Structure 1
Amino acid sequence: MKEQSERLGKEPIPKLLAKLSIPAMVGMFVMALYNVVDTIFISRSVGTVGVAAASVSFPVQLILMAVAGAVGIGGASVISRMLGAQKTEDANRVFGNVVGIVFLVSLIGAISGISFLEPILLLFGADETILPYASDYLGIILYGTIFFAFGFTMNNIIRSEGNAKVAMLTMIISAGLNMILTPIFIFGFGWGMQGAAGATVISQAITVVYLVAYFVTGKSSLTFRVRYLRPNLSLIKQILAIGSSAFTRQVSGSIMFIIANHMLIQFGGVVGVAVFGIVHRVIMFTLMPMFGIVQGLLPIVGYNYGAKQPQRVSATIMLAMKASTALAAFTFIFIMIFPKQILFIFTNDPVTIEMGVVALRIMFSLALLIGVQMVTGGVFQALGRARAALVLSMSRQVLFMIPLLLTLPLIFGVTGVWLAFPVADVLSFALAVWFILKNKGFFIPDKSEVLGRAEEDKAESV
């Protein structure tokens, strides 16, 4: 299936970005929809405390996503550049190392999480009211760690070879099954939080079966061999160095979530935690189209960088910038006009809705800036510029959001939690612009500068 990778260097950029981004958007949209629907079912069956419990459990899932994302995105970046340079054997070796890493870290993560379940939840913001529900939910989710991590990682690997449709199908299968099974388990069997978690694990396990079938039937450009599982320290360092930005972003997101939950328990109570859980799912839902654009951009930029086609690299970046900014503008307008209607989807509790309307409008007030941040971070990942990607991934959550969450609520109370988001957005946007100006050779079609940098594949200069 070599031709599916070669088209990354030949097809017109607008057509190619659409081919890769739209399936990613659809798949991620369905995944986000599953999270929204899951929250609705929990809210309608268990109530506000159930939503709060899912919100407290979410940082653990973010950490699992961080590990899988680091391995998947790092591996995908290396693989796409190797395929672009026609180094198929090396790409296969990277693939084997990725599979080995995923199995090892999944096993460690599951055992650790199950062994220390209650202390982890208390650390992450659960109180006596929330803890039993969170334990029921997360206790089952952790048993599916291997399915979740393998599926999340392979999704990135499949995109790296330019097969966006299969990557989309993996997300649709997982989310679609989840949306079918969750109401059956919650309402039909009366399993509550455990039903929601069980539906998630079963859906992910079935998705893994589909992924294994894809690779073993020869539909992939990559080939798996047992000998490729042998650890190669040089390749592992490359994978983890590039994936460290995704890891940092997800882990910092988990830390941000923990701090926000603690502040909300203090200043907003269980309702505040529930509102944050709802609004965060709205955020993820609205960001999915932009994530789709970034996912479509990664293999194109990586492949053409490896193939030394700087004009295609720059053209892809600029088109992605325009498209993501247009989507961010639509999101801003929609949220500002319909905040109450959005919240009614999740709950009819008047106190939760009143607080949620304020939270939505404040947290989305600078949504117009999000697209540029996301695309810029994705560009440096695709180029293998690990340091720049790491700094950009850390900026919003670690450099800005966490300090803001620790200080603004002390001044403004619960409103300070909501204000931390737009302030972090504007600061992250300014940093992204600075990186663009410092590395404008990648963003503006200057053949000599980009080709000069392409000779420095192993450099990690900012």
Structure 2
Amino acid sequence: MPHTAKLTQGSTFKHVVTMSATGALGLMCMFLVDLVDMLFLSMLGEKEAVAAVGFASSIMFFTVSLSIAVAISATALVSKAIGEGHIELAKRRAVNVLAFGIFFSTGVVWFLWPNISHILLYIGATGRTLDLATGYLQILVLGMPAVMIGMIGSGIMRALGDARRAMYTTLVGGLVNAVLDPIFIFAFGLGVQGAAIASLIARFSMVAVSYYGVVHIHKMLGEFDLMDFFKDAKSISVIVVPAMLTNMSSPLANAIVMEHTSTFGDDAVAAVAVIGRVIPVVFGGLFALSGAVGPILGQNYGAGRFDRMHSTINSAVTYAFVYCVVLCVGLYQAQGWLVSVFHATEGSAALIRFFATFVSFSFFFQSLLFIAIAVFNNLGKPLNSTLLNFGRATVGTWPLIVIFSMFMGAEGILFGQAVGSVIFGCWGFYMARRYIDTLEAKEAQEVTLSHSPAYNEVI
């Protein structure tokens, strides 16, 4: 299959919509299964089971975020090489990022597995909730290397502009999970552990799908060479380390929220757990935005097309605004159904309704932060993404949820998060705009110098 820089041509809005929609379908399918998990477990009539998955999800979000960070590196490095026309370099980077991800994820599992119960206890899980969450995580965390391989493979295909096959990786994983969930939870009577086993098997199905697309369709993996790996390790790490810190900041914020929510009781924890499942399903199109904008920016940056980079940013904002308005209105209308289908208690229902009515609209501003993160990760300033996201996860979360919860109770936790998203979304987007302008001015200056007689005489 020819490897052309297809994202340097055609409508940027069409590319943003296509890349976001396919990414959203894959993500939403994966998170929809988590939502179904929560629904099935709520049918068991044991609120500790729902709370346990909520606590466990805070930890799993860390591991998935690490996998996404390495995938970001694959997308950034491969898309830039494709934009420059260096196909062999793109293949070399693809295989070396994959090797990096396998080594790293194996190390994380080795460290995390024996400490699961201590981490859960630290963030507020106790009693039977702690036991259920520990059993769930001890099974599910074993699939982290498989998630890493699947995410990297999807990132490579996105770098090539093949959004459809990149979507299949998470889509198939989600479908496998959806089929196996009721079998293991109800037919085998395994409850929470059954949900974990179904998810583990689904993660390994992601490996098969991504391998087929990257190796058999695109033939994008070069031969692994240890010396080449060491050469690329620095370039990979320059993106991966800040991207990991960036992605870890979101689950850090979730852990902070979950820990503070636990002081309001299991009803509040169960409500936040349900909301945490609803958010990725409803706003998957916004969460996919960063991954969609990244390859478009990367290819056009490699090709020197700053006009298309500006157009891509504008298209992304337009897409995010329309998407958010439509989905927030839909969520507002569906709040009663959510309360009913999850058998929410009175305390949980109040929080779910508050989120659907007042908090959901803040996700447009969070999408501005996603766009800014894509700019910095793919254009050589990943540390800026780290600072922005950690700022939102710390000073944009903890002080605000503490202050607002003093006056508003558990609802203040959700409201404080929303205020933080507005502040850091606007600030991050402004910084990203200025950074692209700086890159454009720098390149224009270099072009001017290269055409000056004095420069040519020196050369």
What TM-score results when the alignment is normalised by the length of structure 1? 0.90
Are 2:215 and 1:223 equivalent residues in the alignment? Answer: no
Q: Among residues 234, 248, 251, which one is paired with 2:248 in the alignment? A: 251
Structure 2 match to 1:262: 259
- Tell me if structure 2 keeps the 8 A contact 1:141–1:200: yes
1:425/1:86 CA distance change after superposition, 3 Å: same
Give distance in 2, aligned partners of 1:116 and 1:216.
36
Task: For 2:322 and 2:245, locate their aligned partners in 1 and report how far apart those are by CA, in whole Å.
Answer: 27
State how far apart, in whole Å, the 2-side matches of 1:141 and 1:43 are: 20
- Give deviations 1:335-370, integer Å, cap 9, x for gaps: 333322223232253442233212443432533423
Say if 1:231 and 1:53 are closer, same or farther in 2 by CA, change over 3 A: same
Of the three residues 350, 358, 366, the one matched with 2:362 is 366
Percent identical: 22
**C-alpha deviation, 1:449, in angstroms:** 5.7
| Long gaps (5+) in structure 2 | 449-459
Paired with 2:289 and 2:337, the residues of 1 have a C-alpha distance of 27
Match of 2:43 in 1: 44
Query: Contact between 2:396 and 2:420, CA under 8 Å: does it hold in 1?
Result: yes
* 1:230 to partner: Cα distance: 4.9
What is the identity, as a one-letter code, of the residue corresponding to 2:195?
A
Aligned counterparts of 1:348 and 1:407: Cα–Cα separation in 2: 26
Amino acid aligned to 1:108:
G
Report deviation, 1:131. 0.8
After TM superposition, the structure 1 stretch with the greater mean CA deviation from structure 2, 28-37 or 302-311, is 28-37
Residue 118 of structure 1: how far off its partner (Å) = 1.3
The separation in 1 between residues aligned to 2:380 and 2:283, in whole angstroms, is 24
**Structure 1 counterpart of 2:141, one-letter code:** L
Shift of 1:452: 5.2
Q: Quick one: distance in 1 between partners of 2:108 and 2:227?
A: 20
For 1:244 and 1:108, locate their aligned partners in 2 and report how far apart those are by CA, in whole Å: 15
Matched ranges for 1:27-66 at <5 A: 27-45=26-44, 47-66=46-65
| Residue aligning to 1:74 | 73
Q: Secondary structure at the match of 1:330?
A: helix
In the alignment, is residue 149 of structure 1 matched against residue 148 of structure 2? yes
Q: What secondary structure does 2:30 align onto?
A: helix
Report the equivalent of 1:286. 282
Give 1:378 deviation, angstroms: 1.5
> 1:112 corresponds to which residue?
111
Q: Is the 8 A contact 2:71 2:152 kept in 1?
A: yes
Cα shift at 1:122: 0.6
Aligned twin of 1:138: 137
- Residues 1:355 and 1:25: Cα distance change in structure 2 (over 3 Å): closer
Q: What aligned pairs does 1:56-455 form with structure 2 within 5 A after superposition?
A: 56-217=55-216, 219-220=217-218, 222-227=220-225, 230-233=228-231, 235-266=232-263, 268-436=264-432, 438-439=434-435, 441=437, 451=444
In structure 2, the CA distance between the partners of 1:12 and 1:364, relative to structure 1 (3 Å rule), is closer
Quick one: which amino acid aligns to residue 66 of structure 2? Answer: V
CA distance in 1, matches of 2:195, 2:142: 14
Alpha carbons 2:173, 2:203 under 8 Å: kept: yes
**CA positional deviation for 1:241:** 2.7
3-state SS, counterpart of residue 130 of structure 1: helix
Q: Is the 8 A contact 1:144 1:204 kept in 2?
A: yes
Segments of structure 1 that go 5 or more residues without pairing to the other structure are 456-462
- Partner SS for 2:120: helix
The code of the aligned residue for 1:226 comes to F
The residue that corresponds to 1:458 in the other structure is none
Contact 2:74 2:97 (8 Å CA) reproduced: yes
The superposition leaves residues 194-226 of structure 1 with CA deviations (integer Å, 9 ceiling, x where unpaired) of 100000010111221222233332x12522312
CA positional deviation for 1:440: 5.7
CA distance in 1, matches of 2:214, 2:433: 41
Offset of residue 20 of structure 1: 2.5
CA distance in structure 2 between the aligned counterparts of 1:384 and 1:453, rounded to whole angstroms: 18
Structure 1 contact 46–193 (Cα < 8 Å) conserved: no
- The corresponding residue for 1:460 is none
Aligned to 1:459: none
How far residue 454 of structure 1 moved from its aligned partner, in angstroms, is 10
Within 2, Cα distance between the matches of 1:347 and 1:452? 62
Tell me which moved more, 359-368 or 208-217: 359-368
Q: Which amino acid in the other structure matches residue 229 of structure 2?
A: P
* Contact 1:328/1:370 (8 A) holds in 2: no
What letter corresponds to residue 93 of structure 2 in structure 1?
A: V
**Structure 1 residues 154, 437: closer, same or farther in 2, change over 3 A?**
closer
Shift of 1:421: 1.5
Deviation at 1:70, TM superposition (A): 1.7
| 3-state SS, counterpart of residue 11 of structure 1 | coil
**Deviations for 1:155-176, whole angstroms, at most 9, x for unmatched residues?**
2222111111111111110000
Structure 2: how far apart are the matches of 1:348 and 1:59? 20
CA gap of 1:342–1:108, structure 2 versus 1, over 3 A, is: same
Cα deviation, residue 411, structure 1 = 4.7
Q: Which moved more, 1:333-342 or 1:305-314?
A: 333-342
Aligned to 2:451: none
CA contact (8 A) 1:294 1:320 kept: no
Counterpart Cα distance in 2 of 1:454 and 1:27: 41
Q: Residues of 2 paired with 1:197 and 1:211: CA distance?
A: 22
The code of the aligned residue for 1:65 comes to: V
Q: Provide the aligned C-alpha RMSD in A.
A: 2.4
Shift in Å, 1:410: 4.2
Work out whether residues 23 and 163 of structure 2, in 8 Å CA contact, stay in contact via their aligned partners in 1: yes
Q: Deviations over 1:88-114 (max 9, x none)?
A: 222222212211211112211212222
AA matched with 1:353:
A
Query: What is the distance in 1 between the residues matched to 2:227 and 2:420?
Result: 41
C-alpha distance 282-232 of structure 1, shift in aligned 2 (>3 A): same
2:2 corresponding residue in structure 1? 2
Q: Which moved more, 1:126-135 or 1:349-358?
A: 349-358
